[in-house]
Structure 1
Amino acid sequence: MFKSFDQTFKFCTLAMAIALIYPNKNNIKKRLLCFGLLIISNLIQLYWFIVNIFESLIRLDMANITRHITVAIIVILFLFKTVYCICYGEKLGNLLNTISNDMIEANDKEEDFKNVMEKYIKKAKIGEIVWTILPGFLAMQYPLFAAICLIYDNITADYPQRYMVHEVEVPHLSNVQDDTPYFEFIFVMSLYTVMCLIPNFIGLEGFFCISTTHMCVKLKYVSCTIQKAFNDTTTSFELHNKIRDAIKRHQEALQFYEDLQNFFEPWLFAIFIMTSTCLSFNLYQISTLTSFDPKYVTFCITIVMHTYITCIFSSNLTQCAEEMTMDLYNAPWENRSDVIATKYLIFMIAKAQHSLQLGGYGVVVYNMELFVSIMKTSYSFYTLITSK
């Protein structure tokens, strides 16, 4: 009924493999080599981009500064995540192996636990599907918007305008960049860069949703084990053994949480800074436009969705941990009159009262309050950079 991670979450696995972040000790040198070649193949684009940002800063051209930095943030985040996942592949591999082992082990469990596993796998697949669609939609809107505008102008205008994937002044070619074959070369290079970015965001963001949901499975399994221990056992010996097994499972769940927090902590901190900045700059871009531009509006909505999804999955984990306390207390312990079992349960309830939250270096804690705070902070920053 349940299979390993790579067979259950195929889109996420494929994206991680293409993005060179799927943990495998045997091919780490090959992945580093491929990543180096990927950077080299995009050096021309990076050079153009850096020159445009530098020149915009010299001119204090806020419109172009915000426009270029918005895209630069996505590129920086891509580079950071790839390097981080390759360097800390062992941590990522431990999380992935734990998820695979737990899902395979669930085939031998009771029907109640299988139902819990099935329920949360469906939730994890929702996160996987969202992160399969969202990054592709965000990245491909740039070439699609440019292509649609090119086709429309060629049909309706006598002297059609040329639209780039991302408008830049190409150093040394600014006078001829709209002419054939330079324009076509720049367009293809930009499209290639966009395609390189997509798998990384599908893979790691999707894995975050899957791993946080799996943490909920581990907590629910502990609660389910305690319930069955008090309901189904007939002797104190059986009861004590079942509770000890639940305690062991609880410790394993807490260790998984520690591994989850340790691995994702730098990523969570980075996306907090970058998505907030990106959102503010996009609001500024929208405010300076004289007409409606779907590209920037779509980008803004996607950034909000990125923050929301990360916050909602983290919040679900925190809520599940809080529910565990009541699940343990609601076990029919009062029917057994077993002092030792009751003491075990008291210790478990006390341990379960520690809040399980995901955050970045103690600076941010991901929950729905943070989502509201980011929206307010981004708007405040937007008002600051637009003030005269």
Structure 2
Amino acid sequence: MKYTTLRDTYKILTFAMGLGLTYPNPKTEKRRVVCILISLLTIMPVSLMIFWDIYKCWLRRDILNIIRHCTIIGPFLGGFAKMLIMHLKRSAGKQIIDEIDRDYAMYNHLPPAYKAIVNTSIQKSLIYCERYWGITVLTCVTIFPLMATVLNIYNFLFKSEPEKYMIHDLNNPFAAPEDRFNSPYFELMFAYMMYCCFFYVINYLGYDGFFGLCINHACLKMDLYCKAFEDALKEKNENAIYEKIVGVIKEQNRLFEYVDLIQESFNKWLGMILIATMIQICNCMYHITEGFEFDVRYIIFIIGSVVHIYLPCRYSTKLKHESVETSTRLYCSGWEHTTSPRVRSTVLYMVARCQRPSEITAFNMLVFDMDLFVSILQTSYSMYTLLRS
């Protein structure tokens, strides 16, 4: 069997979802809940320490360090919010995976022309949703421990009085600020933050990549039933044409149900990143321009933040465009060559239904598309100029 399951096709993505406790497997549901609680407990100390330092910074009106902490802790806790959202939406998530597995099993029996379309779609998903997105997440997160490690090694090898660097500079709440570099606190915090970086990677690699994969599969379903509709009209027998068109309509209805599942699973997450990304981009720009020195880590982080909101907008726009384009493809499929009234009337309803675009919204209100992406960047810059003033 050339096409098997989602887990076998996208091994890296589903592995990250499993580690990130966002893979909706009913067999591991109780175990996943326990692991989520344990994970929240393990990251609670560093979160409380950061919030305590934010409070101390607020007392002395140290806005720069408040923004520096918020830039890190916001997306970090957002990763754990994904665990909770996916647990609450585990039923819809499981139905999405089951639908993809069902489709892959069906694709094994399709003609070569259809398999070529499937192969192209899967290859694009592997490249963009798994490989390129994985590189983006790894670059944005690992730049922090990598730079800290390189600077520590360089200072200890080439400087008589080496200066220590933390992954994220955080004061010891029970000691003076300069004591944060004393042993064993420094070494323990370095290892602890490496552990936090691990959660950063798996939380953003799996869940966000899964959204892009779901959208790409919806577009694949549209391509296939448009191709099936064109082939159906090439049949010589009227009953054969009608029977195959009925099959196309069934697949079209499955698509609409599938898109509804995507909407149900991700609409709260999309609303969350919509607000969080505007704040994140604003914070990063402020830190870069108003900080004490140029920091390449936050340059990469702001690029990653822009990519993080660009991809959902881009995928949602792709779904919207493909759904509208479907009506044109159906209309241009050669229906005028058939004289059957019931076939022609069926085509009319199919075209009319496709003219209503399939859209993904945040909080069931804001449509995700490229216009929204531009609006997010404009709002982020407005917030940045307001913060500077």
Q: Could you state the TM-score of these two structures normalised by the residue count of structure 1? A: 0.96
Shift of 1:141: 1.1
- Map of 1:188 onto structure 2: 191
Q: What is the aligned residue count?
A: 386
Describe the SS at the equivalent of 2:233.
Answer: helix
Correspondences of 1:7-26 after superposition (within 5 Å):
7-26=8-27
Asked whether the equivalents of residues 9 and 125 of structure 1 are also in contact (C-alpha less than 8 Å), the reply is: yes
Aligned residue for 2:64?
63
- In structure 2, the partner of 1:213 is 216
**Residue type of the partner of 1:153?**
N
How far, CA to CA, are the matches of 1:204 and 1:362 in structure 2?
20
In structure 1, stretches of 5+ residues that fail to align are none
Using the alignment, how far apart are the partners of 1:226 and 1:320 within structure 2?
16
Q: Secondary structure at the match of 2:104?
A: helix
Question: Offset of 1:122 from its aligned partner?
Answer: 1.2
One-letter code aligned to 1:310: P
Aligned counterpart, 1:333: 335
Give the CA deviation at 1:144: 0.8
Query: Aligned match of 1:158 in 157, 160, 164?
Result: 160
Shift of 1:229: 0.8
Partner of 2:182: 179
Using the alignment, how far apart are the partners of 2:365 and 2:52 within structure 1? 33
Rounded to whole Å, the distance in 1 between the matches of 2:363 and 2:179 is 48
Q: CA RMSD in A?
A: 1.3
Using the aligned pairs only, state the percent identity.
Answer: 27
In structure 2, the partner of 1:120 is: 121
Task: State the one-letter code of the partner of 1:379.
Answer: Y
Preserved CA contact (<8 Å) 1:215 1:257: yes
1:85-121, CA deviations, whole angstroms, 9 ceiling, x for partnerless residues? 1222111111011111101110111222212111111
State whether structure 2 residue 251 is matched by structure 1 residue 230: no
| Structure 1 residue aligned with 2:289 | 287
2:347 maps to 1:345: yes
3-state DSSP class of the match of 2:143? Answer: helix
Quick one: distance in 1 between partners of 2:347 and 2:113? 21
Q: How far is 1:264 from its partner?
A: 0.8
Aligned-partner Cα distance in 2 for 1:51–1:33:
27
Alpha-carbon distance, 1:173 to partner: 2.9
2:109 and 2:175 map into 1 onto residues whose CA distance is: 65
CA distance in 1, matches of 2:120, 2:338: 31
Show CA shifts across 1:296-343 (max 9, x none): 101111111111222211111111112101100011111111111010
The match for 2:381 among 358, 369, 379 is 379
Provide runs of 4+ in structure 1 moved above 6 Å.
none
Query: Mean Cα displacement is larger for which, 367-376 or 201-210?
Result: 367-376
Q: Give the C-alpha shift of residue 363 in structure 1.
A: 3.9
Matched-pair contact (CA < 8 Å) for 1:131–1:201: no
Per the alignment, residue 72 of structure 1 pairs with 73
- The answer for the alignment partner of 1:50 in structure 2 is 51
Instruction: Give the conservation status (yes or no) of the 8 Å contact 2:80–2:203.
Output: no
In structure 2, C-alpha distance between the alignment counterparts of 1:18 and 1:255, rounded to whole Å = 28
CA distance in 2 between counterparts of 1:226 and 1:25 reads 36
1:107 paired with 2:69, answer: no
Report Cα offsets for 1:31-62 as digits up to 9, x if no partner: 11112222222232122112112222232221
Q: Does 1:319 align with 2:321?
A: yes
Of residues 262, 265, 268 in structure 2, which corresponds to 1:263? 265
Cα deviation per residue 1:179-233 (whole Å; 9 max; x = unaligned)? 12221111111111111221111111111111000000111122111100111x1
Q: Secondary structure at the match of 1:42?
A: helix
Conserved 8 A contact 1:19-1:200: yes
Tell me how far apart the structure 1 counterparts of residues 310 and 360 of structure 2 sit (CA, whole Å): 14
Task: Give the gaps of 5 or more residues in structure 2.
Answer: none
Q: Larger deviation: 157-166 or 351-360?
A: 157-166
Q: Residue 322 of structure 1 aligns to a residue in which SS?
A: helix
Q: Secondary structure at the match of 2:180?
A: coil
The structural deviation recorded for 1:362 is: 4.2
- What amino acid is the match of 1:125? L
Q: 1:356 aligns with which of 355, 358, 373?
A: 358
Tell me the distance in 1 between the aligned counterparts of 2:212 and 2:24.
17
The 8 Å contact of residues 64 and 291 in structure 2, kept in 1 or not, is answered as no
